[in-house]
Amino acid sequence: MNTHKNARLTPHGRALLAARVINEGLRPRGLEQAQGVSVGMIYKWVCRFREEGIEGLQDRISRPHRSPLATDATAMEQIVERRQQRQIYRQIAQELGVGQSMVARILKRKGLIVRAL
């Protein structure tokens, strides 16, 4: 995985930082200003380095593992069906108890919205 554009340190730099804390006994408080990262981030990298080695310091995906508030499949099907029956967004949203913006997002995701130029 490539390092993202806003990363202060590369995985190699993170490993050097963690090694200095572990092996040389440097304090994260002093390193935070020198490296431009927070103390919490330094502690997180040190913990990952101890548990997983250098592989634990790679960039990770920030996407959540689950989305408990996501719209369920049955509601999506109902939105699509009602739109195919020519109901307008406001009617669909009111009848199903969801927002109009959610109706629009779902229809766009399903390819049922064609933007005019």
In a domain, 84, yes or no: yes
Do residues 50 and 78 share a domain? no
In a domain, 67, yes or no: no
Give me the number of domains the chain comprises: 2
Residue 51 pLDDT grade (very low, low, confident, very high; cuts 50, 70, 90): very high
For the chain, give the percent of residues with pLDDT over 70.
92
Which tokens is 115 given? 């933007």
Residue 15 structural domain: 11-57
Do residues 53 and 78 share a domain? no
In a domain, 90, yes or no: yes
Do residues 16 and 53 share a domain? yes
In a domain, 47, yes or no: yes
Q: Is the pLDDT of residue 117 over 50?
A: no
Rounded Cα gap, residues 8 and 102, in angstroms: 36
More confident residue, 23 or 69: 23
